[in-house]
């Protein structure tokens, strides 16, 4: 089993919010794009909240995030995992991204939202032990993954509305 690597962050200097996933799924890794699985609700939710066309190109979608002050990244830089499920991440293989450096470069970020439980758990276990700004507000949101099918789109959309209310 080979090591999987996440993508660079999508962020610019005006970022105020950071959304963190755990690690891209196989469809995303294959496409080289965040949230590329056709049933993942991340882009439909962002399109609704940030008022852009969900059928826009990936470049246009990521530009809409940046224009809205939203940065996107993953907690994990690398890991081994069979398939796409977070539950299959092998804990002894994971490496986290450099959050100290990222937050230093993006000092306007005041809110971190986690796309699901695994992202929140990994961040709190492996990153929060290190120093990061005390003024950061961290909150877990329901996963947009198709594996989280027990929650409806409406439920997820209501929960995710918080990112435009901060």
- Catalytically active residues are 40
How far is the C-alpha of 102 from the C-alpha of 59, rounded, in Å? Answer: 22
| 6 contacts 96 by C-beta, under 8 angstroms | no
**Side-by-side strand order, sheet with 17-21:** 70-74, 17-21, 111-115, 137-141
Beta bridge partners of 68: none
**Beta-strand runs (E) in the chain:** 4-5, 17-21, 70-74, 76-79, 95-96, 111-115, 137-141
> What is the spatial distance between Cα 73 and Cα 79, in angstroms, rounded to a whole number?
15
């Amino acid at each position: 089993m080979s090591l999987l690597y996440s993508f660079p962050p999508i962020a610019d200097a005006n970022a105020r919010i950071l959304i963190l996933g755990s690690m891209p799924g196989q469809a995303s890794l294959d496409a080289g794009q965040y949230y590329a699985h056709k049933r993942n609700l991340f882009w439909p939710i962002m399109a609704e909240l940030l008022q852009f066309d969900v059928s826009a190109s990936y470049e246009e979608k990521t530009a809409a995030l940046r224009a809205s002050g939203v940065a996107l990244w993953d907690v994990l830089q690398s890991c081994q995992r069979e398939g796409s499920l977070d539950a299959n991440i092998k804990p002894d293989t994971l490496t986290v991204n450099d959050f100290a450096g990222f937050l230093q470069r993006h000092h306007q970020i005041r809110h971190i939202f986690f796309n699901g439980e695994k992202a929140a758990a990994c961040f709190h276990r492996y990153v929060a032990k290190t120093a990061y700004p005390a003024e950061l507000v961290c909150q877990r949101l329901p996963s947009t993954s198709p594996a989280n099918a027990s929650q409806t789109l409406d439920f997820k959309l209501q929960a995710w509305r918080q990112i435009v209310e901060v």
